[in-house]
Structure 1
């Protein structure tokens, strides 16, 4: 048996461990951080006054970090919210909130109060960051206008006509409703989308949203008020039906979907059932064909890039429309819809063979021949 030596220093061991490990008492509570988070939670219970009347739900801030400097604090958070009846899942927006410690009446107690709420660096602003938001609700639409936006009622009426037209072209399940944002100017539209204003100059509207079938917030159709003002009645109908069709087909659209098919299908839906002829709807391409410049191939992704030659961009859209129009007329509207669905989940060559019974070379030759015949 071995002996245990007990020396005079043993009586200091336990007190020393208590000091080093702080194991004899509770850790100090970060009451300031807790109070700051509570202030953010209280702030989230009442959406900004600029959004009064907007159908919001699930409005909350998920705090990512808190930094305190005396009587001031900076919070980074993720805002989550849904537009009731329109968004299938919460949308996200990275925000920075500023808070200050203020004395209540009597000066004995102090509490944290949010004094500013803005987009985080690198995050896109929301429509309400640009000023008060107004709204018009249609049968199939919710139109939100930013500060300085034009009259929303005619846009809501156009959206209500566009939704049934898109549904007729795309006889598949979708929400059957649309959210339209109308900022006050082209520059404010560009701010919302995070792109240079020149990218959208001359355009009537664009659509934002996530592709694929996973739960996601509803797409937003964003109107360029300056481009919209330049359009006639027919132009506005075509533009909004095109964009709403993108909303309708979003769940079937993936990175595999050829851009010419996506854009061409949206234009086909917009012109479907109208008396618009190929020459009327494709003037830029008609001029090229008459010069003997028949496209060598269906438009590639780069042909649809903004900011380049506007005439070339027009030819890309027009060519895509006429390709989808050809498919609908030669193989049937059902085949065009099926091709769109299959192109989002399998190789395009496989989708073509399975729906039309041709390869891309054969489709291209048929398209070129139709251009020569219809755009002479």
Structure 2
């Protein structure tokens, strides 16, 4: 393998070996603490424009398969690992991680101290990075990084361009696709729902045309304030239909009802984040992937109630509207990758739909 170097915007340099695509790339460098699930991480649309550092030291040992993708077109900028396995061994494996990265034109970096890199990002915060092959001029590359502007159109690129329907005999759910993981669709289909997937910039009028029983606001990449079309959508749908938001959808619900969001120093990305349900005291171990969070103090005086809080840093993990059937969580109940503790939120969503139908028919 040839030499490949990661250069961070603060001048920190990590020299290792190249695998995957030979594409020269720049992006936001973030770390992920999950021990497994690298295929789901790589294909999660929420990683759009990001270079993923995996803290587990050996990656690729169980290969890649067609069933575990979270999107058909991964949008991550790069994958950075301590050691990559080129000879996977698993009965489900259909190709190696390196081969898959080549096919998706995503570069990989291996052979660096990912623990050191993670500790650096944890203390300094996530930052822009650049991958270069062979020899390079550090001053010149740092200037390139300095001029790099972070994109604001990630949701547009991650979303479906047109609506489509997945048939089912149960409740009709309109899923607003801000960069939805296929795991969300799988959970709804598993429960018999008919799922209508619509683009991120859909209007409330168009959503209501489908006569939905419920609306789900998906996860997605980037800053929630870069999705202005979602604010009137949520405001107009509130009170007309049951709404459930996940991750970015959660942040957009907060913004639509007057709360604020902020960027976390290094985000929550992993499959081991404890979250407390403040209503019951129950703690769930959750899968998370977000760089922004709802500002706790901004909820004061609004029609939003705090329902869940992160154990590790006390940040907002769930909210609920006080008068309408609208609720959301910051973590991922579809749990791919991650534990299954929060999976029953999909059942709660369908129960709320049933309850609302009974009230309407009473």
TM-score, normalised via structure 2 length: 0.28
> Which one has more relative contact order, counting CA pairs under 8 Å at least 6 apart?
2
Q: Higher strand proportion, which one? A: 2
* Larger-Rg structure: 1
TM-score, normalised via structure 1 length: 0.27
Q: Higher helix proportion, which one? A: 1
